Amino acid sequence: MKTQYIAVVHQDAPEGAFGVSFPHVPGCVAVGDTLDEALANAAEALTSHLQVCLDFGDPVPAPQGSVTRADIDPEGFVLLTHVEVERPAVVKRINISMAEDLLASIDAAASARGLTRSAYLAEGARRLMQEG
């Protein structure tokens, strides 16, 4: 599911690089030589940061609808915008049953594609649901 996080863009000097921070995602920052590069790097940094939160069992910061002056350091402030990212899914372990020979075929096909059994089955399910 795509979601937007408020991003604050800073530029310390008129010809300097741009920095992007997220008031509601502490510790997540990105930089770029141009505004477009900084925003692209911000999306990548935010996606990675949210995934690391999930991987370590930390709470994933929820996107907020607004910021206050206290959220923004006025020094070098350039722009307040939103960065849209795919919010990482919480993975849930399940227990399923299927024929042993089918499972062996799935494992062989997944391995041939460099996927885990879970990734292979999830991709197959996504494709079937897209077909309708």
Q: What is the pLDDT of residues 66-96, one digit of tens each?
A: 887 777 777 777 788 888 888 777 777 889 9
Higher pLDDT, 38 or 55: 38
Q: How far apart are CA 97 and CA 115, in angstroms?
A: 20
Q: Is 79 helix (H, G, I), strand (E, B) or coil?
A: strand
Distance between CA atoms of residues 85 and 99, nearest Å: 38
29 three-state secondary structure: strand
CATH match of 2-86 with 3.30.9.10 = no
* 14 or 99, which is more confident: 99
pLDDT, position 122: 86
**pTM for the predicted model, two decimal places:** 0.64
Question: Is residue 20's pLDDT more than 90?
Answer: yes
Six token digits for residue 117 = 């059994």
CA atoms within a 13 Å half-sphere pointing along the CA-CB vector of 43: 14
| Backbone Cα Rg of the chain | 20
120 CB neighbour count, 10 Å cutoff: 18
What's phi and psi for 34, nearest 5 deg? Answer: -120, 165
Task: Identify the CA nearest to 83 among candidates 10, 20, 11, 17.
Answer: 20
